[in-house]
Structure 1
C-alpha cells in the first residue's frame, strides 16, 4: 500500500485544549512545512459524538494529523477511516497521555504495559486506511522503565506495520503524578531515544520533550529523524517563523512582522465569516511577541477586548500598535489601556 510521505523534521505537538483548528490555522501562517497535530480525540467522541465538530478544519492546515485516543481495534479502525475521509494526512495513536481519565478508559500511556494490544490496534488501523499510521509514546511508565521494555514495545508495534514513532523522552508516572507534573518532573532521557534510533535505523524516530528553540532542534536532528515541539511553540509562536528556512531549507523569505499581522487579520476575517468568535482565535496569539517590547500591552489589549461582542480585526490591529519595533503601516493610533505597565 503506497502511503503518503510526510516530512516530519519539525512537528507541533498535540496539546489538549490548545491545538484546535484555530490554533493550527494561526501556526500555518508562519510555517508551511511543519506537521501540525490535533488535540487528542477519543474514539468514543467520534463513535457517539459530533464528528464534524471534532474533525472539521480548513484546507490551509495541511499537512495535518489527527491524534486518536482509544484501545479498541475496531473503533480505532473506524475512526481512522473517518480521519482519511476528512482528508487528514496522518492518524496518530496516543500511547503517552498519563491523565486519570485516559487511564480509566484504558488508553494513553497505560497502553505501554500492553504492547500486544497496541500492535492489534495499529494493525487494524493500518488495514483500514491508506494514510500513515503513527504512534506517540513515552520512554517508559512506572516501574516498567528499562530500555528493554521500550525496545520490546517498539519492536512489537513495528511488526504491525508502524514505521514512525514519536517518543516523549520522559517516562510517565501513572500513579502519583498529575498530567502537568508528568510533563516536568520525570527527567528527560534523550539518550534512550537516540539508542532506539541506532537499534531501529529503518524506523522514523521523532523526539519530543523539553526542546525549546530551533538551535536545540538542529542539534537533535543530528541524532534522530525529527523533532516535535510542544509548549515552547505554543507559548512563543514566533519560533515558528524560521522553521521552514532553518529546518527544511526553504528559500521562501521569513515572513515579516507586518506581513504576519496582515495575514493574521485575513485569517481572522475568514474564521469570523465562518461563524467563529474572536476570543476563540485570539487566545492562541497572545504569546506572539513573547519577550519583545510591547508584548505585555499586546497580550493585555487582546485579553481585554477580544471577548467583546462583534470584535474583529480592528482589535488585532490596535493591539499590534503597541509593538514599537513592528514595521507596521497602520492609521490606528496606539490605544490606551488603563493601568498599563511597562
Structure 2
C-alpha cells in the first residue's frame, strides 16, 4: 500500500507518495492547468499498488475527481495536522505521512457525503451562531438566500468551475434556452482555464468568487480568508471577469466571524434556498425532481459545473429550464434577483 498526500499551492498541486515504511515512491508538482494531470498520475500509480490519498480541509478541489477515478480519499482536519491551515496548505509530504501514522483518525470521504462529510454537526452549529448576523446582513443587502417570492424570477447558479468538459456543456444548454446564470468560480480552476471565464462573461453570465482552493472558511484566520478571496479575485480579473463583489463560501460554510470578514472586505455573500445535491450523483431525474419540488419564485438554485463528474447535472438542466419556464419563471443573474450591496 502507498500513501499519497495532495496539497494545493498558488501555482497548482504538490503530490508526495510514500510506501508503508515512509520511503519516497514519487514526488511531483503540477501546474494549475487543470486537475486531469494529478488525478491521472495517482490513478496510474494505483495500477501498481493500492493508493490511499490524503487531502486537508483547505483543499476541496480534487477529492470528487479522485473518488470518481476509484481512489480512496481521506480528509485531515486542523486538529489532525501539525501545521495550521491558517498558515497555508499543509505540505504534501506531511499529509502522506499522516496516512501512515494516523489514518484511523482521518475521515474517509465518499461522493454521497461530500468533502465536508463527518463535520455536519459542527458546520450546523457555526450556521446557527451566524443567524442573527445573517438576518442583519440580509436586510442590508449584504447577504442573499433568495429573492422576492412575489416576483416570477429565479437565479440559476453553478459552483466549483470552470471545468474544461462540463462548463462548456452547461454553457451550450444555457445558450440554447437563452438563460443567464451566475458562476461561482474556484481560483485554481480560473487560473487553469481563463478562456472559459471569458466565454462565461461574453455569453452574458455573471461570475462570482468561490475562493482559491475551496476550503471550509471557519477553519481559517481572517488573513487566510482574505488571501483565498484576493487570489481568486485577481485571477478572475486577469481572465476578463472583473473583480467580483459577490462571494459564495464553499459548502455554505460560515460563522459570525467569516460573515463579518467578508462584509468588511466589501463583499456580498450569496447562498441559496434550493440544493438538489447534484454532487452526490443521484441521477439526472432525481436532480431535476428535487429542484422542481423545492423551487419557488425568488429561488437561488445551486448546481455544479465543476468538482467532479457533472454529466448528470448537464443532463438534468434542460428539463429544469423548460419546467421552470412553463411555470412562468424568468431566469436572471443573482444581482438582479434582489437589491444587493454591490
TM-score with structure 1 length normalisation? 0.34
TM-score with structure 2 length normalisation? 0.34
| Larger Rg computed on CA atoms | 1
Which structure carries more strand by proportion?
2
Structure of higher RCO (CA pairs closer than 8 Å, 6+ residues apart): 2
